[in-house]
C-alpha cells in the first residue's frame, strides 16, 4: 500500500527532521492515526517530494525523519483546461477529476451561457473551493506538483491564452475533426476550452477561432461540461506520452 501524502512548505522539507503540524498534522495524527515507524510522503506541491518515516506522534502533529528527496521537473507539454463554470458542486467535481488525471492548470471561465456566475462578492469563496478540491485530489493522486487553479477568466482572457498556446483546441460537438486525430506538440503549452452545458456561443467560437483555437470533438456522444474536461485530458495525456 502506498504511503499517504501530506503538504508542507518547501523550506520545511529541506530539513532532515520535519514537524508536520497545523491542519495537515492534525489530520495525519487524529484522522489517519499515523504512528512511529509508518511511512509518509510530504510534498510542497511544486515538484519536491520527501519520503519520510514517522518518529513521534502528538495529539495534532507528527515528527518525521526524511529518508530521501525527489525533485520532479514540470511535465511537458503543459496541459491547460479552460473550464466553463458548471452548476452547483459540479465545478469541484471537474477540478477533482482533472487533477487526478494530471492536468497542469485549470482556468475557470465565465462563458456567456453559464447558468452559474461568480458574483464579485462570492468569487474568492468559489475560487477557494476549486483550489481546495485541487489540493485534496492532488494528495489522493499522489501528485508532487499540484495544478494551478487560475483566477476567473473572461472570454477575452481565454482568447489571449489560446493565441499564446503551442496548440489551441476548443471542444465543440459540431466540429469535424476528432480530438484523437490531433498531433500534439512535444513541448510548450496545450490549451483546451470546455464550454458550458448550453454550448459555446457563435460569437465566442468566432473569437477563439481568430485566436487560433481549433474546434475538435470528443466522440459521438455529448458529455456534460463537468466530465468533458477529464475525458479530453485523458486523450491528450495518451497522445503526448504522459500516460
pLDDT at 220 over 90: no
Closest CA to 4 of 132, 71, 35: 35
Residue 88: per-residue pLDDT? 85
* pTM exceeds 0.85, yes or no: yes
List, for residues 122-154, the tens digit of each pLDDT value: 899 999 999 999 999 999 999 999 999 999 999
Residue 20: per-residue pLDDT? 95
Alpha helices in the chain (DSSP H): 10-13, 22-26, 90-101, 123-140, 155-164, 202-210, 225-240
pLDDT at 113 over 80: yes
Q: Is the peptide bond before 77 cis (omega within 30 degrees of 0)?
A: yes
| CA 234 – CA 242 distance, rounded (Å) | 10
Cell numbers 465566442 correspond to: 204
List, for residues 154-213, the tens digit of each pLDDT value: 999 999 999 999 999 999 999 999 999 999 999 999 999 999 998 999 999 999 999 999
Report the sign of the C-alpha dihedral through residues 197, 198, 203, 206, in that order. positive
Residue 210: per-residue pLDDT? 98
Q: Return mean pLDDT, the chain.
A: 95
| CA 112 – CA 129 distance, rounded (Å) | 22
| CA 192 – CA 150 distance, rounded (Å) | 14
Q: Is the peptide bond before 140 cis (omega within 30 degrees of 0)?
A: no
pLDDT tier, 50 (very low <50, low <70, confident <90, very high otherwise): very high
Tell me whether strands 189-194 and 167-171 are parallel, antiparallel or unpaired.
Answer: parallel
CB 139 within 8 A of CB 151: no
* Domains of the chain from N-terminus onward: 5-71 (2.40.240.20), 78-240 (3.40.1280.10)
Residue 219: per-residue pLDDT? 87
Averaged pLDDT, 13-29: 94
Amino acid at each position: 500500500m502506498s504511503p499517504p501524502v501530506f503538504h508542507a512548505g518547501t523550506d520545511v522539507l529541506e530539513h532532515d527532521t520535519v514537524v508536520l503540524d497545523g491542519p495537515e498534522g492534525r489530520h495525519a495524527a487524529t484522522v489517519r492515526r499515523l504512528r512511529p515507524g509508518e511511512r509518509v510522503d510530504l510534498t510542497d506541491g511544486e515538484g519536491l517530494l520527501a519520503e519520510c518515516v514517522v518518529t513521534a506522534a502528538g495529539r495534532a502533529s507528527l515528527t518525521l525523519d526524511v529518508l530521501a528527496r525527489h525533485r520532479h521537473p514540470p511535465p511537458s507539454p503543459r496541459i491547460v483546461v479552460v473550464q466553463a463554470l458548471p452548476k452547483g458542486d459540479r465545478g469541484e467535481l471537474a477540478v477533482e477529476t482533472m487533477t487526478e488525471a494530471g492536468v497542469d492548470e485549470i482556468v475557470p471561465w465565465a462563458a456567456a451561457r453559464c447558468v452559474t456566475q461568480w458574483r464579485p462578492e462570492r468569487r474568492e469563496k468559489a475560487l477557494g473551493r476549486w483550489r481546495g478540491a485541487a489540493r485534496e485530489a492532488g494528495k489522493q493522486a499522489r501528485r508532487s506538483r499540484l495544478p494551478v487553479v487560475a483566477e476567473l477568466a473572461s472570454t477575452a482572457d481565454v482568447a489571449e491564452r489560446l493565441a499564446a498556446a503551442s496548440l489551441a483546441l476548443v471542444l465543440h460537438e459540431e466540429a469535424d475533426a476528432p480530438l484523437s486525430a490531433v498531433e500534439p506538440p512535444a513541448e510548450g503549452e496545450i490549451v483546451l476550452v470546455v464550454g458550458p452545458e448550453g454550448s459555446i456561443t457563435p460569437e465566442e467560437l468566432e473569437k477563439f477561432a481568430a485566436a487560433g483555437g481549433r474546434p475538435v470533438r470528443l466522440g459521438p456522444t455529448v458529455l456534460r461540461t463537468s466530465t468533458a474536461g477529464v475525458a479530453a485530458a485523458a486523450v491528450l495525456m495518451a497522445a503526448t506520452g504522459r500516460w
